[in-house]
Structure 1
Amino acid sequence: MNWGVIYDYRDLFIRGIGYTVLFTSVGVLFGVLLGLIFGLGRLSKNPILRWPSLLYITIFRGTPLFVQILLIHYAVIPTVWSLFTNGEPPSAVFSGFVALSLNAGAYIAEIFRAGIQSIDRGQMEAGRSLGLNHGQTMRYIILPQAFKRMIPPLGNEFIALLKDSSLLAIIAAPEFAYAGYATAKSTFARWESYLTLAAGYLVLTLIISRFVAYLEKRSATD
């Protein structure tokens, strides 16, 4: 095997790792925001909030991320963009941010729902008896307790999204998997390129796993 090929294309791989971390971080960040909104909406007794939340969660959990990426990049964004401007639609990077955020939001919404429902109902009653309204009780009593229980599944979602971000290679987003694919296509060094991808993703997932384990340990002692 000619590992010198990987060294020659090192800038492409390093750039790809940077974009992969960026895609994953942005996806999780906005996914948490969407997850909190739609997770609470899913638990709401108001049908105006509950049914749109349930529809969003069902669609994005029930369809493949691969299909979502294609639909968002080649159909949704160009169509929406053409309604407001005559310019070129945003790049694959923007589409990647949107697709991963929407997908992660649906899964994280269910994590929030399960975490909140795992808290004893007496906690809400205790908060209300202290004079707090529903929102204050949720913010100061329920969510802090639920979040500690949500750390492991949120960590799993972070890892899953990191690996799923490789699907963005299909729209030529400059992430890690695309770097390996482009290198293999240009040099025919398939073993070297794809083994480098496997090793890179393994290292990234191990780093995240250790970080999540640290957060779990720390939250258990708080």
Structure 2
Amino acid sequence: MNESLGYIIDAIPTLLLGAVITLQLTVVSVFLGLILGTLIGIARLSKFKPLSVLARVYVDFFRGTPLLVQLFMIYFGIPGLSNSLGISFKFNQWSAAILALSLNSAAYLAEIMRAGIQSIERGQWEAAESMGLGPVQTMRYVVFPQAFRRMIPPLGNEFITLLKDTSLVAIIGFEELFRRGQLVVAVNYRAFEIYGAVALVYLVLTTLSAQAFIWLEKWMDPLEKAERRARRSSPAAASE
């Protein structure tokens, strides 16, 4: 028992560094995926049929095919195709991982965006139009702030899902948390202890991420905001 614990303790610095890299990879991929997903989600709602169809094809492809296949197409397939055309090109591991995770995440985030925007009552749009707001202003000031609050729970789920999916990039040699665990096992041959520690680190990361999104949801809740403002103003009101 003490020997197993010793192996785990020795591996902690390596695994913690892998956890930091995993978080960085997840945050960057979700951020880029959110930007692209927002555009695709809006395109899905477009009345311009070709644009809507293209957005639907994108979503169906990336949601309907395994992330691992997409990663291989990017890391091995695109350079192979470019080389066959006489163009020397190769992705580094970081770029391939970010690109694959971002493109995949964007498909899911696009559907979250679309559903969130569609959840806002039509009367909100009509009220904004009656006040003289254009489509962009209506989306920015009226629809999106309300929709975003409703999107937070599924956004949190997608963040956690992608955080776990980062383990797939280990297969191209990217040294995130899981890959670093593999490298430790290759040295000490203590697979059960090390992979158990890796699983525990993932559990901590997902639990903290879930709590962060719960806090964000409460922080953005209109009733919570009203209560915070009331608490801040109550001492001033009492002093008067």
TM-score (norm 2): 0.86
- CA 1:109 to 1:124, structure 2 compared with 1: closer, same or farther past 3 Å? same
User: Which residue pairs with 1:19 in the alignment?
Assistant: 21
How many angstroms does 1:26 deviate by?
A: 0.6
CA distance in 2, matches of 1:95, 1:173: 9
- CA 1:113 to 1:201, structure 2 compared with 1: closer, same or farther past 3 Å? same
User: Which residue pairs with 2:229 in the alignment?
Assistant: none
How many angstroms does 1:97 deviate by?
A: 0.4
User: Which residue pairs with 2:155 in the alignment?
Assistant: 154
User: Is 2:187 aligned against 1:182?
Assistant: no
When Rg is computed on C-alpha atoms for both structures, the one with the higher figure is 2
Q: Please, which moves more after superposition, 9-18 or 163-172? A: 9-18
User: Is 2:194 aligned against 1:193?
Assistant: yes
Task: Report the residue type matching 1:204 in the other structure.
Answer: L
Gapped regions of structure 1 (runs ≥ 5): none
Q: In 2, are the aligned partners of 1:93 and 1:174 still within 8 Å (CA)? A: no
CA distance in 1, matches of 2:218, 2:17: 33
- CA 1:142 to 1:74, structure 2 compared with 1: closer, same or farther past 3 Å? same
CA distance in 1, matches of 2:203, 2:83: 37
What is the CA deviation profile of residues 52-83 of structure 1, one whole-angstrom value per residue up to 9, with x for unaligned ones?
A: 11111010001111111111111125545887
CA distance in 1, matches of 2:53, 2:84: 29
Q: In 1, are the aligned partners of 2:18 and 2:180 still within 8 Å (CA)? A: yes
- CA 1:104 to 1:202, structure 2 compared with 1: closer, same or farther past 3 Å? same
State the secondary structure of the residue aligned to 2:207. helix
Aligned-pair identity in percent equals 44
CA distance in 2, matches of 1:178, 1:162: 14
- CA 1:69 to 1:188, structure 2 compared with 1: closer, same or farther past 3 Å? same
CA distance in 2, matches of 1:77, 1:153: 34
User: Is 2:94 aligned against 1:93?
Assistant: yes
User: Which residue pairs with 1:205 in the alignment?
Assistant: 206
Q: In 1, are the aligned partners of 2:82 and 2:88 still within 8 Å (CA)? A: no
State the secondary structure of the residue aligned to 1:3. helix
- CA 1:101 to 1:212, structure 2 compared with 1: closer, same or farther past 3 Å? same
How many angstroms does 1:188 deviate by?
A: 1.1
Write the mapping of 1:94-133 to structure 2, written as runs, cut at 5 A: 94-133=95-134
Q: Please, which moves more after superposition, 32-41 or 11-20? A: 11-20
- CA 1:117 to 1:77, structure 2 compared with 1: closer, same or farther past 3 Å? farther
Task: Report the residue type matching 2:63 in the other structure.
Answer: R
- CA 1:82 to 1:127, structure 2 compared with 1: closer, same or farther past 3 Å? farther
How many angstroms does 1:113 deviate by?
A: 0.4
Q: In 2, are the aligned partners of 1:38 and 1:109 still within 8 Å (CA)? A: yes
User: Which residue pairs with 2:220 in the alignment?
Assistant: 219
Task: Report the residue type matching 2:125 in the other structure.
Answer: M
How many angstroms does 1:197 deviate by?
A: 0.8
- CA 1:7 to 1:83, structure 2 compared with 1: closer, same or farther past 3 Å? farther
User: Which residue pairs with 2:50 in the alignment?
Assistant: 48
CA distance in 2, matches of 1:196, 1:129: 58
CA distance in 1, matches of 2:163, 2:180: 15
Q: In 2, are the aligned partners of 1:104 and 1:157 still within 8 Å (CA)? A: yes
CA distance in 1, matches of 2:86, 2:46: 34
User: Which residue pairs with 2:235 in the alignment?
Assistant: none
Q: In 2, are the aligned partners of 1:169 and 1:178 still within 8 Å (CA)? A: yes
User: Which residue pairs with 2:30 in the alignment?
Assistant: 28
Q: In 2, are the aligned partners of 1:77 and 1:95 still within 8 Å (CA)? A: no
TM-score (norm 1): 0.93
Q: Please, which moves more after superposition, 130-139 or 112-121? A: 130-139
What is the CA deviation profile of residues 77-102 of structure 1, one whole-angstrom value per residue up to 9, with x for unaligned ones?
A: 55458879646x23211110001100
